[in-house]
Structure 1
Amino acid sequence: MSHSRHTDAGAARGSKRKRLNDEEDPDWGTSPIVEKGDPSANAQDPVTAGFCTEEEGRELFQAFFKHAHPFIPVLNPREDTWENLRQRSPFIVTVILSIALRARDGCGPPSELTKKCRDSAEDMAKQTLFSPIATLETVQALTLITSWGEHAWRTCCHAMALAVDMRLYRCLPYLYKIRTQSRKPDTHLERQMPLVSGARVWLALVKQSYEMSFNHAQPIQFSGSLHERIPYARELLQHPLSTVYDSRFLVSIELCAAREEAFRPWRSTSVQDLSSVDDVLRKVNKGIDNCYEYWLNYYHRVGVPSDHFLVKELGSQKAYGIMFANAAAWYGVHSKNDAVLLSAERRQWVQSALRAAAFLTSSIGSGRQEKDSEFGNHNFHVAIVATARYLIRMCELIPDAADLNQVSLDIDRLLLKLPFYPVVPFAESLRRTLAKARDQGVLPFTSISEQADAAVRSLSQRDPGQPSPASVGSLDISSLLPPGFNAFPWNDPAVAGRTPSSVLPSQSPANQQYGAELLSAGVTWPDDISLSNWLLPDGAWQGERH
């Protein structure tokens, strides 16, 4: 009996000590992240495999974190060091080196080292397709492959599927629970490190999901309200283990969500009353301005200088948001006469879209974003080329809303930068669009026009994988463009089912031989271009003209 009371008292004291210890060192339960092993654990990084020396590997690794990492900051330079990552994940190391090599090669042919690193990274990625095991490092590596890959839609879907299987979407609410319900949430921060990394990866994938869906005209994966997809996202920046670069994902996601909201009314094929569209655009434009002001104030509050990459990119991301969201206001505009019929408010929106596109195009040649731009991810390079083509079309419709001489000069400067980007087909499409615009008097020539045109023409001759314009022969020129990029068919092959009355518009002597070769290949241009080809049928526009 006495022994029993002693035992019960001891158990009570032990239970009390346990409760006190739990308050000082709270037990947060099992981590929501489900990791099942690394499928590439037995693989070798490029140094171990003998592809390059450790000195060269370190140099490429440092170049990645210095120049490329800010574009997609899915890693943490403080923790993800050269030695650490080589021990944890040869997959990530191989991907990092291949990205740095890709930037070094530019539009030129890939080096042997680049090919080896790329093939090795792709082999490791393939192992994740049919393996039931995955780690946080696996998803981080796939996220980087998606960002710098040229065929990223399927990779993005696969990475998102792995992230959902690993329950990474639970990291943000789990961290919020720790920060708000624990008496001493900073007692053991090392236990929260995987949660912060998981939240960072989830934000990166949500951002990529938006961008891939927009670029490929596909449904957004696991769509839902912004709070459902990234709950307590802004609170992540208050965590001691977060970095200021985590804000880049939040800015992109919030602006992508605004872009999605701008086109929500257009999902109905029976839109007649466009006043609801105007209401949405007013709300979206105000939301974009509020988002920009919030994050600008945040950067000032945490001491980020005005010339920092994040502050500069904030301006660029706002411009992309304005340009894409206000594209809905162009509906029904087929010519300059249609542009005149726009309401004052809609004209203001389309002018703001033009100014945003002009700002983005000039940001490369003027130097605002010239530094490290060759290290930008694939979406960065493709977006700026598509923006320049969009800008040319907008200048034709509302030429009085822009300084055409400055626009023409900025596009020439962009063309001079494109040889440093791995975007051969996109550079050629922009060159042809600009050449036709000048032939038709939309944009003037500049003092560097001939130099810019020659710089891009030389790309096809340098790249053995792309035929040069002089060797088109019977090849359809549309094959030079990746699928889905011909969203603006101006100066591209004729829209299916249309036969132009004139085969070619007037061309400069320098382009006549090129045009003759295109004619022999069966390539023609439409008489005019209608933006309704990529928006809605003409029927919904009738009510606006009144």
Structure 2
Amino acid sequence: MELPNAQETDSPPIAKKRRIPKACASCRRSKLRCDEKRPCSRCVSTGNACVYFERPKDPTEERFEKIENALSGIQERLNVSHGQPSPVATHSSISFEDDSLASTRSVVTRPPVANGHSDFTLREPSTTDLISSGLCSEQDARSWFRTFFLGCDRFVPVFDTTMDTFESVRARSSILFDIIVSYGCRAATGVLSRHYQILYSLLRRHTSDLILRLSASPDRPPLLEDIQGLLTIASYSDSGAVLADIALKAAVQAGLPVGLDSLFASILDTSSSDQGLATPRSLREARVWYGLFVLDHILSLDGGKPSSVSIHSSPRRVRALVSHPERTSTDLRLFAQVELNAIRSTARSSLTRDPVSATLSPDSISRIVNGTLLDLQIWLSEWQAIEFGDASSTTEHPVLLLNLRIQHAWAVLTLQLWALTASGVENIALMTDSQRNIALAAKSAAEQHLQLLLTNVQMPGDAPSMPYVANLCYAMEFVWAKNAFCILIVLRLGILLGDPPNSLIQRLTEAHQFLHELDKAGMGSNISYMRILAQTVDKCERAVKASMRAEERNSAESSDTDFQSFIPKEFMFEWDFPGLNLCYIPFDWQDLFLDFGTTA
């Protein structure tokens, strides 16, 4: 049988049907499965579903691809959280099936903080006060709040008792409320009481809270209550210089100086029918600004810190606020200090040594001192008249008038001591007549200051008392340091200038009386400055008694030297009181050469 020809018997090859790709270009490039059941985003937008057939992948290869895609997603989120541009993510983000990858995802998607870093978060300041936190009862809080406004507000005069009530302050600012209650507790129970020690740790936290709040929201104007809180802490804190500058910066950001200009402009606007009545908040802001001004000058003139704010207009301009209807009796104390510290600041700047000649001439020093003494006397007489004319604080007249005299004596004392420093002579034995006269004037001012501290005042309805010493439990740190220094300098100048023993015994008696009154006022717990006062009196008393015994001349010289060299470390590192470098070292050159000749 004949086989058929191959060409005849073989059927023509069946042409392979060409597959028409139904996948879109995007899916073909990315090689992703896309069908009617799971269409890609592009196909959903066009309303069509594409089908693309591909060779099944190896399971191991598919697993590696999932891991690569997961790592790519993590890197993308990290770039976004750090503010870096990242390519637009495709729809290939896979679900995190692995627990470790899922935990990684929860970390990197944490909302970033204000500084743009997702690895750090800032602590939120506390919003609950000490009553809600259980640190003290409401009854104690109310009692200590009242104590604060019995005297602390006189030393930190930036509050108004008609507005800053218990309920009002607590509702407006939990931090300011805690600060007021804490320092009221300090005045009522003492620095070393367990109550105050508990609240002191809270004050440290609130100091951090206030600084953190100002740092975390630099674009938002600071609250007036936050500035008041910082200023109060600065007044009672060892770090007052730093905190005062932070409060000053916050006050500038809040626009307090601009508000002060607006307040003065409203007073000058005589055409307005409600002149000065529509700006109660402006007076509150002015009060806080002037409080910062006074604290800055105290810390610069008496604490050695660089002055952070100065006044270019006349300080007498503050008297325009005396007639403001919202003005309080405590404001008079504040406004008077604004003028006083401006006068002191001008004198201190004038007595600064000339960088060329290194010292001022005696005539220049005399002219500056006499001019400043005249300004201080005018200040005292005019503010006494203003106080007498104030009908709103008749019960406080005696105390306020006494405070004016004490502040005047302090200003005169520091002025004379600054003048001695400017003369460039520390050894009283080598002073000229004019320099010695300045030293004698400083001694007289120091003695007057001590006697004013012990002045009895007849209060309305009460027996005569020493109100200044009794109110020291409310005082800020500067007042404690100032009084300790004044007792030290009055005794030292008495010895250095050769006062007779009877006069020195009188000064020692007054110093003992001051210490006794402090004990009666319950201030023995302030260990630091009580120790300074006690050591001052003890060392001076030994020196005086030894000098009165002629047979113990060597011992007298030793005691005198011991007292002259006594400078408490608090005055060296925390304050910058003048006159502590004064000494008396006699040089008899004729006797010295005579001794050499005799020896030869």
TM-score (norm 1): 0.69
- Tell me the residue number matched to 2:491: 392
> Relative to 1, partners in 2 of residues 1:157 and 1:444: Cα closer, same or farther, differing over 3 Å?
farther
Residue 215 of structure 2: SS of its match in structure 1?
A: coil
* Kept after mapping to 1: 8 A contact 2:126/2:209: no
Query: By how many angstroms is 1:431 displaced?
Result: 2.6
Establish whether residue 241 from structure 1 lines up as the match of residue 326 from structure 2.
yes
> For 2:478, which of 369, 379, 399 is the aligned residue?
379
Query: By how many angstroms is 1:100 displaced?
Result: 1.1
Query: By how many angstroms is 1:408 displaced?
Result: 0.8
| 1:107-146 mapped onto 2 (5 Å cutoff) | 107-111=191-195, 112-131=197-216, 132=218, 133=220, 134-146=222-234
Aligned residues, how many?
423
Query: By how many angstroms is 1:204 displaced?
Result: 0.3
Residue 529 of structure 1: SS of its match in structure 2?
A: coil
CA distance in structure 2 between the partners assigned to 1:169 and 1:193 by the alignment: 16
| 1:306-325 mapped onto 2 (5 Å cutoff) | 307-325=397-415
- Tell me the residue number matched to 1:267: 353
Q: Deviations along 1:72-130, whole A, 9 cap, x unmatched?
A: 22110011111111111112111101111122342425435433542443243232341
Residue 239 of structure 1 aligns with an amino acid whose one-letter code is: H
Q: Deviations along 1:168-189, whole A, 9 cap, x unmatched?
A: 1123321121122252352783
Deviates more, 1:397-406 or 1:139-148: 397-406
Gaps of 5+ in 2: 1-122, 458-464, 549-566, 586-600
Query: By how many angstroms is 1:441 displaced?
Result: 1.5
Query: By how many angstroms is 1:405 displaced?
Result: 2.8
> Relative to 1, partners in 2 of residues 1:290 and 1:481: Cα closer, same or farther, differing over 3 Å?
closer
Residue 183 of structure 1 aligns with an amino acid whose one-letter code is: S
Establish whether residue 341 from structure 1 lines up as the match of residue 426 from structure 2.
no
* Kept after mapping to 1: 8 A contact 2:417/2:442: yes
* Kept after mapping to 2: 8 A contact 1:168/1:202: yes
> Relative to 1, partners in 2 of residues 1:335 and 1:188: Cα closer, same or farther, differing over 3 Å?
closer
Deviates more, 1:104-113 or 1:287-296: 104-113
Query: By how many angstroms is 1:293 displaced?
Result: 0.4
- Tell me the residue number matched to 2:265: 177
- Tell me the residue number matched to 2:297: 210
> For 1:350, which of 413, 420, 442 is the aligned residue?
442
> For 2:145, which of 52, 55, 61 is the aligned residue?
61
Q: Deviations along 1:313-364, whole A, 9 cap, x unmatched?
A: 1111111111111213434564554467336863663344233333355359
Establish whether residue 529 from structure 1 lines up as the match of residue 583 from structure 2.
yes
* Kept after mapping to 2: 8 A contact 1:381/1:423: no
- Tell me the residue number matched to 1:281: 369
| 1:289-300 mapped onto 2 (5 Å cutoff) | 289-300=377-388
Residue 252 of structure 1 aligns with an amino acid whose one-letter code is: Q
- Tell me the residue number matched to 1:34: none
> Relative to 1, partners in 2 of residues 1:127 and 1:235: Cα closer, same or farther, differing over 3 Å?
same
Provide the alpha-carbon RMSD of the alignment: 3.4
* Kept after mapping to 1: 8 A contact 2:481/2:529: yes
Q: Deviations along 1:217-250, whole A, 9 cap, x unmatched?
A: 12211334353xx683111111111112112122
> Relative to 1, partners in 2 of residues 1:422 and 1:214: Cα closer, same or farther, differing over 3 Å?
farther
* Kept after mapping to 2: 8 A contact 1:148/1:378: yes
> Relative to 1, partners in 2 of residues 1:530 and 1:236: Cα closer, same or farther, differing over 3 Å?
farther
Residue 90 of structure 1 aligns with an amino acid whose one-letter code is: S
Establish whether residue 91 from structure 1 lines up as the match of residue 214 from structure 2.
no
* Kept after mapping to 1: 8 A contact 2:302/2:577: no
Residue 174 of structure 1 aligns with an amino acid whose one-letter code is: S
> Relative to 1, partners in 2 of residues 1:115 and 1:355: Cα closer, same or farther, differing over 3 Å?
closer
Query: By how many angstroms is 1:142 displaced?
Result: 1.1
Residue 357 of structure 1 aligns with an amino acid whose one-letter code is: H
Query: By how many angstroms is 1:439 displaced?
Result: 2.1
Establish whether residue 370 from structure 1 lines up as the match of residue 455 from structure 2.
no
Establish whether residue 483 from structure 1 lines up as the match of residue 573 from structure 2.
yes
Query: By how many angstroms is 1:288 displaced?
Result: 0.4
Deviates more, 1:383-392 or 1:428-437: 428-437
Query: By how many angstroms is 1:47 displaced?
Result: 1.2
> Relative to 1, partners in 2 of residues 1:329 and 1:478: Cα closer, same or farther, differing over 3 Å?
closer
Residue 374 of structure 1 aligns with an amino acid whose one-letter code is: C
Residue 441 of structure 1: SS of its match in structure 2?
A: helix
> Relative to 1, partners in 2 of residues 1:200 and 1:224: Cα closer, same or farther, differing over 3 Å?
closer
Q: Deviations along 1:285-316, whole A, 9 cap, x unmatched?
A: 00000000000001111234475332221111
* Kept after mapping to 2: 8 A contact 1:45/1:94: yes
Deviates more, 1:70-79 or 1:217-226: 217-226
> Relative to 1, partners in 2 of residues 1:63 and 1:199: Cα closer, same or farther, differing over 3 Å?
same
Query: By how many angstroms is 1:372 displaced?
Result: 2.2
Identical positions, percent? 20
Q: Deviations along 1:477-536, whole A, 9 cap, x unmatched?
A: 97777724486897xxxx9xxxxxxxxxxxxxxxxxxxxxxxxxxxxxxxx9379xxxxx
Residue 132 of structure 2: SS of its match in structure 1?
A: coil
> For 2:286, which of 193, 199, 205 is the aligned residue?
199
Residue 49 of structure 1 aligns with an amino acid whose one-letter code is: S
Residue 233 of structure 1: SS of its match in structure 2?
A: helix
* Kept after mapping to 1: 8 A contact 2:491/2:540: yes
CA distance in structure 1 between the partners assigned to 2:427 and 2:568 by the alignment: 25
**Which one scores higher on RCO, CA 8 angstroms, separation ≥ 6?**
1
* Kept after mapping to 2: 8 A contact 1:40/1:91: no
Residue 415 of structure 2 aligns with an amino acid whose one-letter code is: A
- Tell me the residue number matched to 2:530: 427
Residue 382 of structure 2: SS of its match in structure 1?
A: helix
Establish whether residue 149 from structure 1 lines up as the match of residue 237 from structure 2.
yes
Gaps of 5+ in 1: 1-38, 446-476, 496-527, 532-546
Query: By how many angstroms is 1:200 displaced?
Result: 0.3
Establish whether residue 220 from structure 1 lines up as the match of residue 307 from structure 2.
yes
Which structure has the greater CA radius of gyration?
2
CA distance in structure 1 between the partners assigned to 2:157 and 2:568 by the alignment: 35
| 1:34-45 mapped onto 2 (5 Å cutoff) | 43-45=127-129
* Kept after mapping to 2: 8 A contact 1:72/1:147: yes
CA distance in structure 1 between the partners assigned to 2:124 and 2:263 by the alignment: 29
- Tell me the residue number matched to 2:33: none
Query: By how many angstroms is 1:159 displaced?
Result: 0.5
TM-score (norm 2): 0.64
CA distance in structure 2 between the partners assigned to 1:364 and 1:332 by the alignment: 39
CA distance in structure 2 between the partners assigned to 1:283 and 1:343 by the alignment: 17
> For 2:512, which of 412, 431, 456 is the aligned residue?
412
Query: By how many angstroms is 1:396 displaced?
Result: 1.4
Residue 216 of structure 1: SS of its match in structure 2?
A: coil
Query: By how many angstroms is 1:266 displaced?
Result: 2.4
Residue 333 of structure 2 aligns with an amino acid whose one-letter code is: R
Establish whether residue 438 from structure 1 lines up as the match of residue 526 from structure 2.
no
